[in-house]
Structure 1
Amino acid sequence: MVGPGVSLIICPGLLGSAQAFSRFARRLAEDQQAGYAPLRKLVQPYILRRLKSDRQIIADLPDKTELKAYCPLTRMQAALYQESVATLAQQIETLDGIQRRGVVLAFLMRFKQICNHPSQWLGDGAYAPGDSGKFSRLRELAEAIAARQEKVLVFTQFQEMTGPLAGFLQEIFGRPGLVLHGGTPVKARQSLAEAFQREFGPPFFLLSQ
């Protein structure tokens, strides 16, 4: 979200004071038709988005190859997911507007957590690999990579998943890997990247926001 602090640097007064911007943002949040479109239009001239596909920006990157792997839910995941859907349907019957939207967004986050691993939503700390379809699929991929003595980058949206994933991958590769997330000191990040790039460096690198 672009805030008034950014406007002070790029274009002073563009978004007004913090109080004025807060009132403006609240009005946008309540507008079910336009949403945040007016804000995007306002700041668009000041935002430059560069894409990996732009060869003028990065000329030495190979073409990206994508292979989608679908991970079926385990019985535990399916039960939690179905239960959450029923709870959501029940709650939104009595809500509308911004409250309804807030509840839906909260449940979307819950669905993501359940699909990652039931323990992420339940908070029980168990993280049994067999309880997650994603963990099972990751095991198949990681074992094949380990057999070829290659390395792997693993990305996760959730910082709290880096610990369980690191332990899981360490068992597969037989040695520890690296973890980088939003809490990693800036000074340590370059050394982590360099360690991973060494020929006999750590076999996996977990990255999160």
Structure 2
Amino acid sequence: MEKLDIICGVDEAGRGPWAGPVCAGAVILDPSKPIAGLNDSKKLTEKKRNLLAPLIYEHALAWGLGWASPEEIDTLNIRQANHLAMRRAVNALKLSPTLALVDGNDAPTLGCRVETLIGGDGIEACISAASILAKTARDAKMLEYDALYPEYGFAKHKGYGVKAHSEALRRLGPCPIHRMSFKPVLAVNSKTSSTKV
């Protein structure tokens, strides 16, 4: 890291679910306005995340969210869609970073220097902040989808492959926000298609 670097943290939420988009967050924190309690979003309660997110929006020097749709995930694959969401998040920043700190060990191309950090969302405050924004934004989006497709229970499991989701998928088949290329969805969709023939 150079002394004058403008550093943004980058992280995603929703890589593993069977349904819904993937969301990435990018955050440039203001060193003069530290935010207490930042951590890996998965280690925080939903209540704590929802308290921290507005503080990040208010106090960060810049923040951006980027999305990749289920269709883009199916077309590109989840890794490339994840990178696309991260690029969109960084491009949405009102400041141009010179260095992006990305959680994990898979470096996307972001138009600036990139350093990956395994477990970075629990170590670097800017990555923690990005993690929290991505998670809360995606959860809110899945609540919207729950209103459209209430029978799948998206409000509870956010599209992850829990038993209730698996049972709903088997019973109803996939809905428009399911990731058709993911094996559990593909398997059910194939059975549904062959039954209809």
Same fold (TM over 0.5): no
Higher relative contact order (CA 8 A, sep 6+): 2
Q: More helix per residue: 1 or 2?
A: 1
Q: Normalising by structure 1, what TM-score?
A: 0.23
Q: Normalising by structure 2, what TM-score?
A: 0.25
